[in-house]
Structure 1
Amino acid sequence: MTTPPTPPLLDFTTRKALLFALSAQRLALYYEHGVWMTPAQGASQLSDWLSRYQLQMPQTERLQLAEISDDFARQITGALSREAGLYTSHEMNEALDPNYHSPLAQQMLFQCECLLQEHGLGDTPQPT
């Protein structure tokens, strides 16, 4: 009996992209519907994305990433006017397309990198 191959652990670049995408989705939901996604909903969204690409991330890390994205999105909305927040949300969501280039989205991606480093999710893979 052979065991199925274990999906690879995420590298730093993938974790950064997931944090960015989840933060963008949170902002869009907030600005379009006036509601915030819960950390559990964020972790569930991450799980869906990961399974689509046959990747794995421990549940504790998914929850941690969901909480970081929640804090980041709320920080953005607290620091910007509604118009600037809408623009930021739009730019981040457009930048999910790899063919779309946005200096603002690049700044937000850099912020995601800093947040990951700050929370100990830097360049080393997390254990399962």
Structure 2
Amino acid sequence: MASNPSVVATFQRMRHEQRTMASKAAELEMEINEHSLVIDTLKDVDPSRKCFRLVGGVLVERTVKEVLPALENNKEQISKIVESLNGQMQSKGRELTEYRERYNIRLVGEGEGEAQGQSAAASSRDSEGGGSKSGAGVLVS
């Protein structure tokens, strides 16, 4: 078991970085879902119909035909960021595993508690984004 405080601190920092990435990825997944919902709603609406979009805290009047391509582009960009984050999380996971093995680090309750901890973290992450917010910022009138 590792007892050097700098080794433990480095390991904790690495775990924190991985958790931060997972949290950000979950947040961005929620934004993708919100964008999808708005895009699906606007596809059935007359393209000349006016709608309002929140841009930098300012409500701007546009038409559906102007807003829809921007939403689809935003969704695509967010998806690319999520893919990148997932790759970084996998890389960080491998780095953590190598670090644990190199310094023989054992987690408290490792073994049976480890699998439970991962499922608890996943359900915690899923429940964090349960609020209703409008990330797409579009209002159709």
TM > 0.5 = no
TM norm structure 1: 0.29
Q: Higher RCO, 1 or 2 (CA under 8 Å, sep at least 6)?
A: 2
Q: Which has the larger radius of gyration?
A: 2
